[in-house]
Amino acid sequence: MGRVTSRHKVVRIDLDRETTRSIDTVAGEEPLEIRVNGETFTVTMRTPGADVDLAHGLLRAEGVIAQREDVLSAVFCSDLDTLNVLNLTIPGRSVASAATGTRNLATLGGCGLCGTTAVEAVESVVSDRPPEVVWEAASVVAALDELRTRQQVFAKTGGTHAAGLAPAPAGTTGPDSPVKLAIVREDIGRHNAADKVLGAALVGEVDTRGGLLVMSSRASFEIVQKAAVAGVSVLACVSAPSSLAIEAADRLGVTLVAFARGRRLSVYSHSHRIPH
């Protein structure tokens, strides 16, 4: 799998058994510098692969772009061996203008920044609340089950998160309605996995509005932000939510599901979209 995984020597110590030596497969992690019109926008640590999708998803979440046509080109810079610098050409935008949104707010640790300020910054980027699409609980469970079966890198390494997108159904869903994830991506960072999925949807013109985004991770504010900007109606995560994630989901109109394990779900906001 190339740079997605790598092999390393490991000494396995078991206090009840003898020590062994073997070769372990681990998830790849490298920095990716994302540039906008030649200027550095951000540097993120990610698992190499689907980098163009990641950049589109990130820039969409930050309100820099709204559609695929906003990006004229996405080109890796001169480092052909590692491909860790990606430049996107976006007419009429600069790092100075692009960096005034939620990305700056998310990186500040003080200066009076509070949860309400962060949510308000996302509200300024979100044009419309997610549509009122109903998703049966059984459909959410089925999507999470499929996500687990498609985590190929995790199966090899145990070190990546996954995200998957199911577009909104043509009609209402029922307990027996088939659910298929149109896009699945993995990354060592949960936010990167979300960006890769939503970016792939933007590039491939897969409609995210009203859709279901499933995550193998906890539910954080950043994941809710990305879902809301993409118009996702239901965000389902296998682990716990944070307080700010719940507050943001409530205000931004996203149905937030957490502790989605087996046949059990905990719905923290806008539960009317999941019949119960």
261 is known to lie in a ligand binding site? yes
Q: Is 60 annotated as a binding residue?
A: no
Indicate if the alpha-carbon torsion angle 200, 86, 88, 55 is positive or negative: positive
Give the span between the Cα atoms of 32 and 45, in whole angstroms.
Answer: 6
Nearest-CA neighbor of 239 among 213, 220, 212? 220
Burial class (CB in 10 A: 0-12, 13-18, 19+), 124: exposed
The token duo for 39 is 């200027």
Q: Which of 77, 111, 114, 237 is catalytic?
A: 111
Strand partners, 88: 36, 74
260 known ligand binder: yes
How many H helices and E strands in the chain?
9, 12
Q: Is 221 annotated as a binding residue?
A: no
99/172 Cα distance (integer angstroms): 39
State in Å, rounded, how far the first CA of the chain is from the last one: 42
DSSP-derived 3-state class of residue 101: coil
- Contact call for residues 109 and 186 (beta carbons, < 8 A): no
Amino acid at 238: V
Angle at 65 between CA 131 and CA 37, to 5 degrees: 170
Give, in degrees to the nearest 5, the angle at Cα 233 between 52 and 102.
55
Could you tell me which of 192, 138, 199 has the C-alpha nearest to residue 165? 199
Query: Given phi > 0 = left and psi -120 to 50 = alpha, else beta, which region is 271?
Result: alpha
111 given a catalytic annotation: yes
| Residues with active-site annotation | 111
Residues flagged as binding site: 259-264
